Structure 1
Amino acid sequence: MSIDEGGPVNVQHYTYRVTWSQADGEYVATVAEFPSLSWLDEDQADALRGLVQLVGDVVVDMESSGETVPEPLADRRYSGHFNVRVPESLHRELAVAAAEQGVSLNRLVSDRLAHA
């Protein structure tokens, strides 16, 4: 369920990424909102399709179990500031990077500023 609207989550709105994995010799699809999920396939499009289906199955299972389903990053509202004003698009990009790394936005920005 979407936290704000009470309706079903659209799994197409999650933040997917498909990259080549040299170690696996296949494409790997990942999703920022579910960092423990991935899908490997020889075909780039099939890797994405496989992961979207898997995420859909996980969301259905979570909803039926009464678990809180992560809200898609794309559907969240961003204020555009966190003590420093930045464009909303940069805020979203940083939020996605933090989610993919499993750290807080504050931690990601602090680390990036420390190493700039």
Structure 2
Amino acid sequence: MKTLNQKKKQIEKPSLEYYLNLKYSITLYPDSEGGYVAQIKDLPGCLSQGETIEETMANINEARELWIETTYEAGGEIPVPITDDKYSGKLLLRMPKSLHRRLAEASEQENVSLNQYILFLLSASA
């Protein structure tokens, strides 16, 4: 028969490092007052904002780390990212050259990759 300490070790939660290395989905929205807002829906209340997409992404990553560290230290439950194995997250898309150029120029202006910029646009309209 197992002792209470043995049972505790069996259900011991993962390390803080484990949670910090999880990949959470981030949703970006344009802010009505300018700039952008980012949200991690898997972590309730984990929001941030910034003037540019790059700044917003840096801020939401910092907010994610603080959210996880605070919850972990308080002994709270940290949800793991919701995954949907049905979708790979990859999509091949053909578009007119003129649209490709406009999107590429806009992404350069925001100082982010074309993929990240398109993902932002799709997230904001979904």
- Range into which the TM-score falls when normalised by the shorter chain: 0.5 to 0.7
> Quick one: structure 1 residues 33 and 15, their matched pair in 2 at CA, closer, same or farther if it must change by over 3 Å?
same
Asked if 1:24 corresponds to 2:33, the answer is: yes
Asked if 1:52 corresponds to 2:61, the answer is: yes
Q: Structure 1: which 5+ residue stretches go unaligned?
A: 81-87, 91-116
Question: What is the root-mean-square deviation of aligned Cα atoms in Å?
Answer: 2.5
How many residues end up aligned between the 2 structures?
Answer: 75
2:20 to 7, 10, 19: 10
1:103 aligned partner: none
> Quick one: structure 1 residues 13 and 24, their matched pair in 2 at CA, closer, same or farther if it must change by over 3 Å?
same
How far residue 51 of structure 1 moved from its aligned partner, in angstroms, is 0.9
1:72 aligned partner: 81
Instruction: Give 3-state SS (helix, strand or coil) of 1:29's partner.
Output: strand
> Quick one: structure 1 residues 28 and 12, their matched pair in 2 at CA, closer, same or farther if it must change by over 3 Å?
farther
How far residue 20 of structure 1 moved from its aligned partner, in angstroms, is 1.6
- For 1:47 and 1:60, how far apart are their aligned partners in 2? 20
- For 1:48 and 1:11, how far apart are their aligned partners in 2? 16
**AA of the residue aligned to 2:14:** G
Q: Structure 2: which 5+ residue stretches go unaligned?
A: 1-10, 89-126
TM-score by length of 1: 0.54
CA contact (8 A) 1:27 1:44 kept: yes
1:89 aligned partner: 87
- For 1:18 and 1:46, how far apart are their aligned partners in 2? 12
Instruction: Give percent identity, aligned residues only.
Output: 15
**Offset from partner CA, 1:81-114 (integer Å, 9 cap, x none):** xxxxxxx129xxxxxxxxxxxxxxxxxxxxxxxx
2:45 aligned partner: 36
1:106 aligned partner: none
CA contact (8 A) 1:11 1:55 kept: no
CA contact (8 A) 1:30 1:39 kept: yes
Structure 1 window deviating more from structure 2 (10-19 vs 65-74): it is 10-19
- For 2:53 and 2:34, how far apart are their aligned partners in 1? 12
TM-score by length of 2: 0.50
